[in-house]
Amino acid sequence: MAQTEVKADADKPAAAIVPRGFAKRWQNFRASMADPDGTVAMISRILRGNYKAHWKGYSVSFALLFVVAGMTSLSAWIMSDVVNQIFVKQDREMLVVLSTAVMMIFVVKGLATYGQIVIQSRIGNRIVAENQKRFYDRVLKFGLNFFNERASGELIMSITAGANGIRSVIDTIVLSVGRDFVTLIGLVFVMVYQAPIMSVFALLIAPIAIIGITKLVKRIRGIARAEFTSSIMIISMIQETVHGAKIVKAFGLGDHMRGRMSDAVHAVETRANKIAKLQARTSPLMETLGGISIGIVIFYAGWSTIAAGKTPGEFMSFITALLLAYEPAKRLARVQVGLAESLVAVKALFGVLDHPISVTEADEHPPLVLKRGRIDVDDVSFGYRANEEVLHGITLSVDQGKRLALVGPSGGGKSTILSLIQRFYDVKKGAIRVDDQDIRTVSIGSLRQHIAFVSQDVFLFSGSVRDNIRIGRLDATDAEVEAAARDAFAHEFITALPNGYDSTVGENGVQLSGGQRQRVAIARAILKNAPILLLDEATSALDSESERMIQAALDRLVEGRTTIVIAHRLATILNSDEIAVIEHGRVLERGTHAELVRKAGLYEKLYRYQFAEDPTLERQSA
């Protein structure tokens, strides 16, 4: 009968013989190995990308941790001789020897701990710095679409929490393996050597603790992801408040913004409390199981000492090892919990590092060979999204030393044309050429090096006025910076600032007026001295007097340069070599000012409308 049953089991598939719980855990482990976002795969990637570069430092750290673990185990081992030789046999010679030995054990342990902490902290700081540099370098290789689709708060959280998460994962693994695991193995050896039977009672508790911790980890992962998202919201709220301070004040949005921030902070607080609560559950679990284990051991040890005549030294050594094993065991129990929380932020950082580099930012092509600086926009169509078109078959050209003006109603696609010329985006149809070279076949760095751009939305970096002008050419001297400021009619207001050219502009130039920011941007373009000049409403933020001064500076600047200028105020482009009227992504009219007025089309209507508002247009036109 027994043989029949064995044969029946042998005919079953292997999976049927394996207990269900074990089979399920094995399947989960294999799935985690195969999933690139799984815990095992992510930890493997972290170690490959970071541990390998610092293996020498980590080897020293491991060696010191082994010393710490060895000293901890030795401190438990020596308790047997301390009790038996000093308290039972009352050996005076051994009193000095063992007391000195105990002191030396803890001195060596302390020095090794200090060295390990210093070395691992330095390596950890280096890993954070390296990953933040990698992250930022990768971000610079993305096109504008990437930034249009992501909140800056998400990137800030990824570069800070993600880089620190990588460090936390490696530190956790190193400390768990090099200190806690090795210490636990050493202490278990002491326990088994001194009292094998008592060790069995103590070690039976471990599987129960492992099952409990595994269940906590699954819940923490989901909560940690939600907490990460809420933290992004807090950062985004602060940025919106700083950049939109005027709107917040003007529209009385204080209570509204306060409520949004309160909700976001409350969400983070709630989830942080949940994680803390779940993490804290490991303590009562380990305390209870540890207490039961120690209680059973004490009962058995006491009985064996009283009834079986065992020496108290072995019991003291065993109980010391058991108590010392409690802390590393508790830390090992929390390893999965800590890793689950850190990996959420690491996953966000890896998501950015794995994002493909934008085609528009690839720089493997040969450099642009500039001869004249002629620009040809040939039958170009483009849309920011898959199923839309902003431009429809645009064809334009401008030769060296000529000025092409783009005019027309807002939203017609004029600024988009300038973005395509700088290859912030790639055309969907047609081509853009500079001196008969398709800009998609030349290096992006060389293309933009030959272009100076002044936008209607001026962005200034935090720093001094001098630094912001010098962005046009980073190797420019102070004299060249000041000369460019004079040509942009900015020198007078700059010298009137508290610290002149060294005055700080504040975040995004908040310390300067709109017109002042515009003139700093024009000075930046003048300093760059590029053969191609793109002006997108470069005088839009200036008063009439400043506009006339800037226009005179621009007239000098465009001489000999290929220039495309966008303007809503027709007074600034009347002398252009050609004017193209853009509406709904199409070129409606082309010609000089006089030719377009005679055509009596859209341009003539725009001109007459502005003439009614500004009679000086008639005199300038004449």
- Domain residue limits, the chain: 20-353, 367-450+533-538+562-622, 456-529
Nearest to 211 by CA among 127, 119, 282: 282
Per-residue confidence (pLDDT) for residue 243, from 0 to 100: 63
Tens digit of pLDDT for each residue in 270-286?
Answer: 777 776 666 566 556 65
Distance CA 222, CA 300 (A): 44
- Residue 310 is predicted with a pLDDT of 64
Q: What is the pLDDT of residue 17?
A: 44
Q: Which of 596, 542, 591, 535 is nearest to 567 (CA)?
A: 535
Q: What percent of the chain has pLDDT over 90?
A: 25
Angstrom distance (rounded) from CA 282 to CA 212: 8
Average pLDDT, the chain: 80
**Residue-level pLDDT at 7:** 44
CA distance 596 to 211: 82
User: Does 578 or 246 have the greater pLDDT score?
Assistant: 578
By mean pLDDT, which of 211-215, 221-225, 448-452, 545-549 is the weakest?
A: 211-215
pLDDT at 619: 47
Measure the CA–CA gap between 613 and 619, rounded to whole angstroms.
Answer: 13
Predicted local confidence at residue 212, as pLDDT:
55
Contact 418, 564 (CB under 8 A): yes
Check for a shared fold between 20-353 and 456-529.
no
72 pLDDT band (50/70/90 cuts)? confident
Q: What is the pLDDT of residues 163-178, one digit of tens each?
A: 899 998 998 888 888 8
CATH architecture of 20-353: Up-down Bundle (1.20)
Q: What is the pLDDT of residue 6?
A: 41
Residues in contact with 75: Cβ distance below 8 Å, sequence separation at least 6, in sequence order = 102, 105, 106, 109, 320, 324
Q: Name the strand (E) or helix (H) holding 586.
A: strand 586-591
| Owner of token pair 């693994």 | 173
pLDDT digits (tens, 9 = 90+) for 150-163: 877 788 888 888 88
C-alpha distances in angstroms, 12 versus 9, 275, 521?
A: 5, 44, 79
Q: Which CATH superfamily is domain 367-450+533-538+562-622 in?
A: P-loop containing nucleotide triphosphate hydrolases (3.40.50.300)
pLDDT tens column, 189-225: 888 887 777 777 666 665 555 555 555 555 666 666 6
Max avg pLDDT among 209-223, 285-299, 319-333, 379-393: 379-393
Sign, CA dihedral 324-329-330-335, equals positive
**pLDDT score for 182:** 87
Separation of alpha carbons 342 and 163, rounded Å? 10
Q: Which of 66-70, 125-129, 145-149, 253-257 has the lowest mean pLDDT?
A: 253-257
Q: What is the pLDDT of residues 407-439, one digit of tens each?
A: 999 889 999 999 999 999 999 999 999 999 999
CATH fold for the domain made of 456-529:
Rossmann fold (3.40.50)
Residues paired with residue 587 on neighbouring β-strands, in sequence order: 582
Q: What pLDDT is attached to residue 228?
A: 66
Cβ atoms of residues 511 and 474 within 8 Å: no
Dist CA 86 CA 95 (whole Å): 6
Instruction: Please state the rounded mean pLDDT for residues 84-91.
Output: 76
- Is 70 exceeded by the pLDDT of residue 311? no
β-strand pairing of 451-454 with 532-536: parallel
Query: Per 3-state DSSP, what percentage of the chain is helix, strand, and coil (rounded to 5)?
Result: 70, 10, 20
